Amino acid sequence: MIVGASYGTLGSSRAQAQLRQILDAPELRAYIMPSSEYHLAHSLQAFDESGALKDSEQIRRLEALFTDFLVFIKITSQLTETHAQHQKEVEAFSWEELEQ
């Protein structure tokens, strides 16, 4: 999940797009949650004195995104484990044993 904030109106969208492109490189093999960008514009005005977000809609959106991210982590973990198990089965496969 890629999250960003900026002083202006774009909410770090360009930086997030570049980071997504880098993380999506085959050499990194990073798992990136699709459609998970969170852009917070005008970040200087977005927080109260204690550092909490002021806007209840932004809080709701961010909480929903984190909930989705936890599901993404669980699914990705299951897929990774399944892939590793299948890889072991493939490596242990023998045509000679199959013919007997």
Asked whether residue 100 is domain-assigned, the answer is no
Asked whether residue 62 is domain-assigned, the answer is yes
Residues sharing a CB contact under 8 Å with residue 65, sequence separation 6 or more, in sequence order: 1, 3, 36, 38
Asked whether residue 37 is domain-assigned, the answer is yes
Asked whether residue 98 is domain-assigned, the answer is no
Residues sharing a CB contact under 8 Å with residue 86, sequence separation 6 or more, in sequence order: none
Instruction: Report pLDDT for 29.
Output: 84
User: What total of structural domains would you count in the chain?
Assistant: 1
pTM of the predicted protein model: 0.73
Residuewise pLDDT in 10s, the chain (100 residues): 889 999 998 878 889 999 999 999 999 989 999 888 899 999 999 999 999 999 999 999 999 999 999 999 999 999 989 988 998 989 988 888 877 6
| Residue 80 domain boundaries | 3-93
Instruction: Report pLDDT for 9.
Output: 87
Instruction: Report pLDDT for 98.
Output: 78
